[in-house]
Amino acid sequence: MEILEYMGQYGYEQLVICTQPSVGLKAIVVIHDTILGPACGGTRIWPYKSEQEAILDALRLARAMTYKSAAADLPLGGGKAVIIADSRTQKTEALLRAYGRFVDTLGGRYLTTTDVGTTGRDLEYIRQETKHVVGLPTTAGGSGDTSVMTGLGIYMGMKACANEVWGSDSLEGKKVAMQGFGKVATYTAQHLLTEGAKLVVTDIYEGALERARALGLNVVAPEEIYDVNCDIFSPCALGGVLNHDTIPRLKCRVVAGGANNQLLDDGAGLELHHRGILYAPDYIINAGGVINVSAEIGMPYNPERAREKTERIYEIMGRVIEISKQEEIPTGQAADRLAEERLASVQAIKKMYRSPC
């Protein structure tokens, strides 16, 4: 991949590589677009197989954050950071604080929060080196765990899809196959169980499976999840799981989950569309986390405000479905159109974000 050519093609503003060997820091920060405001996105800690893989993941995730914030009607742009490390064995205070210093050099163009491999406690370490952090624990004056609102948003997105497919947004009795049972999936599952849905789950970590069994859920092996006869398939792990090998195995009417970049490519979205499977674009229904942190920017955090805006995901998903039907295009393309229209409308009056500090 020619990185600069790729960045130019998709409108990226900045890619920063950060390293401090003394603490094992190898990080990449990507700012995609700041038309609507400072770039906001989580910091992911993951043991990537190569630097190329880490850069590509950061690029794709940052662009998705631009579209996510735009579609959710937030005053934020898109960014993302990845740290090449195993969060279970290599994450230290020194590494996190060194990373925080690099974030601070960006002068507020990038606001970071949690993602895969990072926690609220990690943000407290980062906050010691930079003020450009959102999603701190409520005890530290922040908005708390982003997984709570993310789970609510996914649930609301599922209900909007159910209303389109079955004529009612009730999920009672619906069978949901959840791929991955981390924090976000667990919060989503709580809403689903309260409404009377039936869940089948899988995960690669035993701790997550133990949590699922404690809730009385049916557990299957990771490779079996694609073959489960269900109403909704819910990818809640890493990206690229919807591809030309896995889609033919799906036995569902709706795909709606919390993972980022679920479609391996545009062709996967088209294949779902042709098969009559309603796909809830990931950045539309998993926007609850960034909605939650946006409620603390420039004002005291208001949980009621965050919840109200997260529940609007139901309406936004409905708009995506309508665009898809009217223009006879896959829902992924419809979501992009919704986000791009907002970006274009604001671009006429705003330019690249520069921190006022």
Residue range 144-154: average pLDDT? 93
Nearest to residue 21, comparing CAs of 104, 95, 123? 95
Residue 181, burial from CB neighbour count under 10 angstroms (0-12, 13-18, 19+): buried
CA distance 132 to 124: 11
As a whole-number percent, the residues of the chain with pLDDT over 90 amount to 90
What's the pTM? 0.88
Active site residues: 80
Number of other CB atoms surrounding residue 219 within 10 Å:
17
Answer whether 3-133 and 147-335 agree in fold.
yes
Angle at CA of residue 116, ends 179 and 141, nearest 5°: 125
Check whether domain 147-335 has CATH 3.40.50.720, yes or no: yes
Is the pLDDT confidence value at 357 over 60? no
3-state class (DSSP) for residue 254: strand
Domain layout of the chain by residue ranges: 3-133, 147-335
CB 39 within 8 A of CB 31: yes
- Mean pLDDT value across the chain: 95
Is the pLDDT confidence value at 355 over 80? no
DSSP assignment, residue 333? H
How does pLDDT run across 198-254, given as a tens digit for each residue? 999 999 999 999 999 999 999 999 999 999 999 999 999 988 899 999 999 999 999
CA distance 117 to 94: 16
CA distance 254 to 342: 27
CA distance 280 to 254: 8
Check whether domain 3-133 has CATH 1.20.210.10, yes or no: no
